[in-house]
Chains A and B, each alone.
Chain A
Amino acid sequence: MTHLFWMAVFSTLVAIVFGVVAKGTNRHRLIYGLKVFAQFMLIALALGWVLYFLPFR
C-alpha cells in the first residue's frame, strides 16, 4: 500500500509539471496531464504484475 500510495503521489506531481509546461490550450494541457498520470500508473502496475511472475529471488 505504501508503494502504491507514493507511486500515485509521484505520478501526480510529475503529471502536474508535464501538464503545466506542455504546449496547447488549457484544456489540451489538462488532458495531457491526466494522460501522463494514467500512463504512469497503468504501466507501473502492469510491470509490477509482470515482475511478480518472474522467479527473481
Chain B
Amino acid sequence: MFTTNDGSFFGEGESVVGEKQSRSDFSEAARRRAWLIGAGAWAVPGLGHLIQKRWVRGLFLGGVVWSMFLIGFALGGHLFTIGGREQGLAVLVPALWMVGDLGSGLLYLLCWLLNLGFLETPQATARVTFEYGNTFLVVAGLLNYLAMLDAFDIAARRKQ
C-alpha cells in the first residue's frame, strides 16, 4: 500500500493511497454519483476531477486533453467517423480511430453536429504534420478515457 507524502507537488489529498472500500458500505446514491461523475468526465475533459475538488489534477488532465485536441486541428488533423468510402472489414479501420476520437466527449459531438473537422482536404493531407494532427486528436480522446476512469475511481473511493 502506498502512503501519502507531504504533497508538495499536487497538494494534500491528491496522492494515491490505494485503499479499496468494500462494496457493501458503498451506498446506491454514491454509486450513482460515481457514474455521473464518470459521464461528466467523459463529456467535458477535466470536469470529473473539478467536481470532486481535485483542482490540480483536473487542470492538468483537462488542460492536456483540450490542448491536444486543439493542437491536433492546428496541425491539420481531422476527426474520424464511420460511413465513408470504406466497405466490408475496412470499415473497422476508421471505426477504431473514431472510438479514440469519441473519447474527447462533447468536443467530438459538437464537431460532429457542426460538421467541423471531419473533412480530409488535399491541402491538409499535404502538410508534413497531417498524421501528427490525427494522432494528437485520437490520443486526446484516449487520454480522456484514462482521465474518466481516474475520476470514476476517485468518486468510487478506489483511489484518493
Contacts and interface: CB of A to CB of B under 8 A. Distances in A.
Given A6-B75, A27-B5, A17 B16 contact: no
A39 interface: no
Interface size class of B (residues with CB under 8 A): 20 to 34
Nearest to B67: A13
Contacts of A2: 128-129
Given A6-B132, A28-B2, A13 B64 contact: yes
Interface string B38-73: 000000000000000000010011001101100100
A21 B14 contact: no
B61 A25 contact: no
A14 B139 contact: yes
Contacts, number: 66
Interface size class of A (residues with CB under 8 A): 20 to 34
A11 B143 CA distance: 12
A14 B143 contact: yes
Contact of B61 (A10, A21, A23): A21
Nearest to A19: B60
A42 to B, nearest CB: 19
Interface string B108-121: 00000000000000
Highest count of chain B CB atoms <10 Å: which of A3, A22, A26: A26
A29 B14 CA distance: 11
Interface of A: 2-3, 6, 9-10, 13-14, 16-17, 20-30
24 contacts: A2-B129, A3-B128, A6-B129, A9-B71, A10-B68, A10-B132, A10-B136, A17-B64, A17-B146, A20-B57, A20-B60, A20-B61, A20-B150, A21-B61, A21-B149, A23-B159, A24-B16, A25-B4, A25-B5, A26-B8, A26-B14, A28-B2, A29-B9, A30-B9
